[in-house]
Amino acid sequence: MISEIKSNINREMLPQHIAIIMDGNGRWAKQQGRERVYGHQGGVESVRSVIEGAGEIGIKFLTLYAFSTENWNRPKEEVDALMSLLVRSIHHELDNLMKNQVRLLTIGDMNALPDECRKELLDAIRITAHNTGVSVVLALSYSGRWEIVEMARKIAQQVKNNRLNPEEIQEETVIQNLNTDQIPDPDILIRTGGELRISNFLLWQLAYAEFFFPTKMWPDFRKEDLWQTIVDFQSRERRFGKTGEQVCSH
């Protein structure tokens, strides 16, 4: 069944970039009568499986919404446990990332992360920098509104320093001052857990992404679920503001 799903993927029409909101860890744990942290631990295996699945078929970019700026408002015990889990996971997965040629990147406010977490992350980014497989982008202490405010500050500073005229500000100017300036916009957004919202994630970049909202909780999501999403994506018509007739004529 798994190989059949994989064989249904058209390798000539692969999405370049898939973004995932990894939702449902807490609810998954609650269903099993466990603490929320147990769900986050369960989600680590899903991360491993999805990264492997993306690499196997040649996806270039995979962005995982790991921790939002709003998540800092969660109970301190959960935040501390999440940060500790992140450090351990990066440390334990490094050999696997190297074996699979995974390049690690990050977006978000790195200065807000605890020192140990930031050091582990930056070390892993440096060590994997020359890998040529899938680029995995961890969105940490990130939110779309935070990023847009940061972008506005950067552009305002350039104007203030006489390096940019307000009349010269174009769409490309905005793109160049986002956290994702070296990353293509997502073709696909997946949010697990059945919630139908994007929760302040990649607000600029998701303008023309195809959205998928599987009800499966993140700890149950595996690479075959990713592949099935890609098969479904390939059956959709992406028009980018054009008519269906215009798209078909090309």
Catalytic residues: 23, 71
Q: Which of 149, 198, 199 is nearest to 174 (CA)?
A: 149
Outline where 128-222 has alpha helix (H): 144-160, 171-176
**Segment (H or E) for 91:** helix 76-99
Q: Could you count the other beta carbons within 10 Å of the beta carbon of residue 83? A: 17
Q: How far apart are CA 104 and CA 138, in angstroms?
A: 8
Q: Tell which residue, 40, 115, 117, 33, has the closest CA to residue 75.
A: 40
